[in-house]
Each structure stands twice: as C-alpha cells, then as structure tokens.
A and B are shown apart, each in its own frame.
Chain A
C-alpha cells in the first residue's frame, strides 16, 4: 500500500501561519543592503560624501517596518507586536553602543598625535605654545588618588566590618541608608565641603593636594563600604562558626578567616572605587587648583591632576590652539587607558581569586 506523503507546502496545522526560521535575519540583511545602495546612489548622483550612518539608520528603519509588516501579515497582530518590540529593544542596545564607540574612536584618534615621550617626561613649566607634557599632572593624580585611597580604604573597610559583623539594630540601618545616600553626593559638593573645611582652618583661597584627596575620599568611602560589605556577606557563616568553635576570638576570626576569604572581592571593589574617583575633575579643580609646574608635596601649594589638566588645556587655549587641544586629547587618552586598565585588572582579580562557594 502506498503511503501518501502530504506535500510540505500545505503545512501541518501547527506550522501554518508561521514564517520560516531566519526570515527576520534575511529581512535585516536585505534592508541594510537597500539602505546602503540608496545612499550609494545618492552620493554617486550628487557627488557628496557617502553617509554611512544615514545608510545604516535608513536600513534599520526599513527593517523595523518590513519585518513587522510581514510578521503581521503571516502570523497575526500579536506576533507582529512581539516582532516590533524585539526590534525596538535590540535597537536600544545598538543605540547605546554609538556613543561608546564614538567616544573611544575620537579619543584614540585625537590622542595619539601627542602620545609621545615628551608628553610623559616634561611638565608645562615655561611652555607657552607647542611641546610640553603632563608629567606634573600624572604625578599629581598619582599622589592625590593614593592619599584618597589611604584615607578611604581603612575607613570603608572597618565600616563594612561593623555593618556585617557587629552592627545590629537602628544604628547599623541608619549607616547603611546614609552610605547609600552618600553615594549620590555630587562630586562638586564634595569639593566644596573639603574647601569649606580648610578655608575655615587656614583662611580663604587655600589650594592643596590633600584637600583634593579629602574631597575624593568623600566620594570613595561609600563605594568601598558598599562593595566590601557585599563581599563580607558572601563569606559563609560555617567558616566563622568553625573558627569560634576552635576558640578563636572574634577579632582574629575576622582578621584571619573572614577578610582573607573575601580579599579578592574587596580588592576588586577598591580598584573600581579608584577608577571612579581618578577621573573626577570638578572637586580637584576647586580644591587642588591647577599649575604648570611639578609639585610633589601634598601639603603645600597647588597641584595639577590629569582630569584638571585636560580641562585647563581645553579652557585656556593659547597660541597655537591646536597644540593645547592635542595635549588635552592626549591626556584624555592616558586617563581612559588608566581607567580601563583598572577596570580590567579588577575584573580579572574577581574572576581568578574569588573564593569558591561550595555550590
């Protein structure tokens, strides 16, 4: 007896009214091709420059309309809505990549012009035109950030120890709340605070590196507290209890068991906190000021830092102006490289040294 095979084209009941797999991708490629072709023709006809951004934009819009349209025609209104929202959500992500790529490309392309030896081994002293470097700014950033870290890490770490190991009741809750709120203090307000403290002590108009460090640590402490607190909470209670059972006092348990278990996470948190404050401009601009000369002393006189260097090169352009802009971009490149490296190292530390949770 011959078995009759139903032709595929008629489709089973379940598969009816469904687009073949991959249709959407075909539509996407086709729409992009149409967009590119359209703008190619326009630029060829009018002799203007080829507009890649416009072509991609038109292609994506075309895809949005066409894919929604054919889904609606074949699969119905609900599926069309689903397709439409999928396109929108993916488009949102692509849109967020535009500034990221644009910023990185701009900084790299403009920054490489002065990314040379002179930039790293000279200051701006007696430089009025081309040449000059940012050594004084790098030294300043290093010293100020180091001082801010030295202030913030012990304070932040002990606060998180208090919150996790000792703090009970209303006081601990209030500190948690205030730390969260402190995370949102505008950086310029932190700068004004540090300035106001020292203006009362030493008279108005005072500018020193250490004031900048204090304003940065106001911004850094809450970040350190939050990240270390989360890491300390991850340490399993069994470890603490095993230690107590052996008669180890609480402080030694914290010092020898809890902190070593969480040290990778704490390090990551501290590095991320440093990478957050190292790019701060506003508080340093009003507390540490700016200068063209080297200054190794945190407690005396103005001190330049990299972000402020970028700003002052941009804001006080002399002659020739391009030399100032090139220095600003080069310093921005150095700054971004430092921040990215800190982020990368922090993630690597977190990945390779974090404690293995039993699961």
Chain B
C-alpha cells in the first residue's frame, strides 16, 4: 500500500525547453542591459572624477569635475521643475476635461489629439522654440522686466532673443504634457462610479464631485504622473540644447541672457567635438543624469505599484 502518489510530470519536450529558456534569456537581457548601462558609464567616467584643467580642456575654467558639473545639475533641475510647475495644472485640467467634461463619444479622439503632442520629435520642438516661440514671448518678457522687475525672478536686463531658461521650460512643458495627461486620465477614469454617483445624489455640482471624489482618489496617480513627467523633463536634450542660450552660471533669474545649461543639452552640444579626457568628463555628467532620473522614475513606479489598480496606467 503506497501512501503517496508520485506527482505526474509532463514530458520535457525539446521545443518547450528551448522556448522557455529563450524567453528567460530575453528577460535576463533586460537586467544585463540595465546593469551594463550603469557599469559602462561608471567605468568610462572614473577618469573624469580625478581630472583637472590640465588634463581635460573643458575643465579649464571650473578647475575640477564637481565645480564643472554643479551649474549643470542646478540648471537641469531648475528647468525641469519650472516645466513641471507649468505642465502639471494644465495636464490635470486636460485630463479632467477628457474624462469628465467632454462628450463620451469625443473623449477618445481628444485623448488621441493630445497624444499627438508626444509624437512630434524633440528636434522639431527645438526648431519651433527658436523660430516661433522665442520671438513671440520676447515682448512679454520685456514687459515683465519693465513692470515686475522688482521680483527677483523677473530681474533684468531682459534677453534680446527670448532664448532664456523660461522659454526652454515652456518647450519642455509642452513635451511632458501628453505623458502626465495620459496617466492622470487613466487614473481619473478609474474613480469608483459609486463615489461619483453618491456625490451627485447629494446634490453636488460637477466641480464638487471632482473635488470630493475624483481628485482624492487620484492623488497618488497625480503624484506619480508628475514624477514621470519630471523624469522625462530632466533627460530631454535637443529642445533645450537648441532653444537655450546658456552661459554656465547659477541663477534663478528667468528672463536674462545669462542662463544655466542642463546636463543633457551640454553633452549634446559638446560631445561631437570632444576628445581625450573631455569625453570622460561628459560621460561622467551623463552618469549623474542617469542616477537622478533612475531615482525619480523608480520612486514614481514605486508609488504606482503600491496601488495595484493603476497597473494598467502607463
């Protein structure tokens, strides 16, 4: 009398083994790739940390790597934060419009139209920023400097070209708008219908429904959407490289011709002519950008994943 029946084991077929191994290998490649990105960047940037003005010509003014990279880090974060401040309220408004105000039949089409903003390549945004946006906003900037110049942010003298950090931030805001909107829209649409209907039944107006049911439910979604947008704005390269006329100083002033550059834009502008240790210095700044965006994105994804309902929102 046997007490345990041996478990039935399917015959291992060659095709099955090959297929599962291949997919496991592909999954592992994701890990390997990310690890390789980090490893190669670290290896290539080690010489940069010990470089001085003598060994790398782009460090001549700053003296060492950290003095060189500090204004860039400041510019990167400042431009990204500015663009987020502009894009976030707008994106929440658009997402609410599509999810709760627009007619149901139109909603999908309107969402697609907003997504078209994401389809425009960044180099085209750069051309547009220089050719159209900067000349258009320059008179507004000079009005601001003349009338509100006593606020430190708007201190003069005004830039004659309009190619300031505020213009770059406006372009960035346009570029991250569709990402934040898409994610907020998904989250707002997942608001429990019963919550909304309960509010309506109590006599709430549409805005009160949104204030009491939709926004509280979507708060973590909004936070992570803005983090994703921030991550994108931190790494955006060409639009900033083309629009911003940078001078490598640290300042909060928005409208003058002295603007801090960003890490990504600086790499794109300096890399084609770089040689020797200069390349390592630029890769070193890239490593810092990678770490910052990795942390921002990881935090955003962590917030999303904490609420399993949002898993489809991407």
Contacts and interface: CB of A to CB of B under 8 A. Distances in A.
Interface of A: 78-79, 81-82, 84-86, 88-93, 95-97, 99-100, 102-103, 106-107, 110, 154-159, 161-163, 165-167, 171-172, 174-175, 177-190, 192-193, 195-197, 199-200, 204-205, 218, 221-222, 225-226, 230, 249-252, 254-255, 275, 278-282, 285-286, 289-290, 307, 310-311, 314-315, 328-329, 332, 335-336, 339-340, 343, 347
B44 interface: yes
Contact of A188 (B31, B205, B231, B286): B286
B27 A172 contact: yes
Given A90-B97, A200-B40, A251-B20, A81 B207 contact: yes
Interface string B284-314: 0010011001101110110001000000101
B27 to A, nearest CB: 4
Given A249-B15, A250-B16, A279-B124, A311 B242 contact: yes
Interface string B120-143: 111111111011100000000000
Contacts of B293: 184-186, 189
Given A96-B114, A162-B23, 5 more contacts: A86-B207, A102-B128, A189-B41, A199-B279, A252-B15
A184 B228 contact: yes
Interface residues of B, number: 93
A181 B297 contact: yes
B7 interface: no
Given A162-B27, A250-B16, A286 B114 contact: no
B30 A175 contact: yes
Contacts of A172: 27
Contacts of B92: 92
B193 interface: no
B123 A78 contact: no
Contacts of A99: 117, 128, 174
B164 to A, nearest CB: 18
A158 B267 contact: no
B113 A188 contact: no
B27 A106 contact: no
Given A188-B267, A285-B272, A332-B124, A182 B117 contact: no
Interface in B255-298: 264, 267-268, 271-272, 275-276, 279, 282-283, 286, 289-290, 293-294, 296-298
B242 A314 contact: yes
A95 B113 contact: no
Contacts of B25: 158
A186 B290 contact: yes
Given A99-B174, A106-B131, A161-B23, A186 B121 contact: no
Interface of B: 13, 15-16, 18-20, 22-27, 29-31, 33-34, 36-37, 40-41, 43-44, 89-90, 92-94, 96-98, 101-102, 110, 112-114, 116-117, 119-128, 130-132, 174, 177, 181, 205-208, 210, 228, 231-232, 234-238, 241-242, 264, 267-268, 271-272, 275-276, 279, 282-283, 286, 289-290, 293-294, 296-298, 300-301, 305, 312, 314
A159 B30 CA distance: 8
A161 B23 CA distance: 6
B34 A178 contact: yes
B31 A174 contact: yes
A100 B31 contact: no
A161 B119 CA distance: 27
Contacts of B89: 92
14 contacts: A96-B177, A102-B128, A106-B132, A158-B27, A175-B31, A188-B237, A192-B41, A192-B44, A197-B36, A204-B279, A230-B314, A250-B19, A280-B121, A336-B124
A314 B126 CA distance: 10
Nearest to A82: B205
Contact of A178 (B30, B268, B289): B30
B116 A100 contact: yes
Given A314-B242, A339-B119, A93 B37 contact: no
B20 A81 contact: no
Given A204-B279, A251-B13, A282-B264, A218 B37 contact: yes
Q: Which 6 A-B pairs have the closest CB atoms?
A: A186-B235, A279-B121, A92-B93, A158-B26, A184-B297, A251-B19
A324 to B, nearest CB: 12
Given A103-B124, A165-B23, A184 B290 contact: no
Contacts of A192: 41, 44, 267, 282-283, 286
